[in-house]
A and B are shown apart, each in its own frame.
Chain A
């Protein structure tokens, strides 16, 4: 099975024969190209064009993060799956406001359903979250009557605020108190984790989009602004609660991530190297976790679920089958 290559140390990455070679003060490492799915680079790494050509040929996406763990950008190789037809369909669903809003609502609806699933999971474990679930459930009908994407975004923000109220109840750890969402920079440890976790979900969605005929620049909920990737942000909405947030709760509650894994930087708080490594390791494990898929009748990993979601989206775009977002059933 193909694996994601994560690089945390500083060093040099290059092509050596038909393998990826990484050299740092901690040693030398050879990674077979055939086993590599994508590369995430966190350390200060130097690389050359020869390597990029090699990765391009082998259709491997590379995601770069800065010293603080914030996403910088991706090396997105030349598109290998081209279908003018699919791009036109995607653009059609973006340009037609009715069609766009219809899809945008699906992403928000899927996100909300999965948020509720996460909360119900903790209710089953004795957390008093009924009231929050109720507040969110009360807001859910407003998604369907939203009349613009902006309006929809506002509703989503509202729901998310209620959702964030649950974080302190779920975590119950005075070291990790959450006082509202802060982004650039995150003002406390929970915010640092949320930011980091979200960017991981974004890049995995982007890597998966690369292996479909979809264009990552045309999103529906998140506006296409001519150059940035946005479709991955849309798809990530559905998976952030069940992959990212669930993981945040679990690493804190199990004591895997501790206050010592953070540092104060940029007038805010970010994960330190050890913290990033630990979180990424757990994240990778989670992506490989499989569940029994009802329709396919076999076990699929969370990563595959993302790919399947993209296929469902394609089927919606070609007018074959109305898209229904994935909602966890456990």
Chain B
């Protein structure tokens, strides 16, 4: 089943999707993972947090003028594309349940908020991504390692390039 996290990984590196699907987690000596969790816990304390619907987990949910707003909290905007598509994926899921929500990307450390609404174009992109993720997971071997700008700080770096 496709999760928001898989969408997130997909836009960073398709190879990561395959590895994560096999629980081949990255080299973990990474203080940032813990930091990310703390930021998510300690920011926006007044809002409803961590709402789980089937296989998706939404960081923040609130209603404003009868409109549902969902928020995704991130440590930095470094992976903005991934973050955008992950949130768009949640919006799409909610739409399937008949909820027309709006999204907002939150970068508490950068004091930045980016509103997001689901567009037709995004939906198409997401559906393509979902197909592609399913293909990747089904494949016997991982997609080949390709260098991108995220490799430098990636926990799979040694695994991919050893």
Contact = CB atoms under 8 A, between A and B. Distances in A.
B141 A84 contact: no
Interface stretch (B21-29, B45-53, B70-78): B21-29
B131 interface: no
Interface in A64-122: 80-86
Contacts of A307: 158
B161 interface: yes
Contacts of A304: 158
Nearest to B143: A320
A311 B23 contact: no
Interface of A: 80-86, 211, 213, 295-296, 304, 307-309, 311-312, 314-315, 318-320
A295 B161 contact: yes
Interface string B120-162: 0000000000000000000011100000000000000011011
Given A81-B25, A82-B23, A83-B22, A308 B141 contact: no
A80 B159 CA distance: 18
A194 B162 CA distance: 29
Nearest to A310: B162
A296 B24 contact: no
Contacts, number: 45
Q: What bracket does the count of chain B residues touching chain A fall in?
A: 10 to 19
A319 to B, nearest CB: 5
Contacts of B27: 211
Contact of A85 (B23, B158, B159): B23
Contacts of A83: 22-25
A308 B157 CA distance: 10
Given A83-B22, A295-B162, 5 more contacts: A213-B23, A309-B162, A315-B159, A318-B142, A320-B141
Contact of A319 (B23, B141, B162): B141
With most chain A CB atoms within 10 A of its CB, the pick from B22, B24, B140, B162 is B162
Given A211-B27, A318-B141, A320-B141, A311 B22 contact: no
A296 B22 contact: no
A286 B88 CA distance: 51
Contacts of B159: 311, 314-315
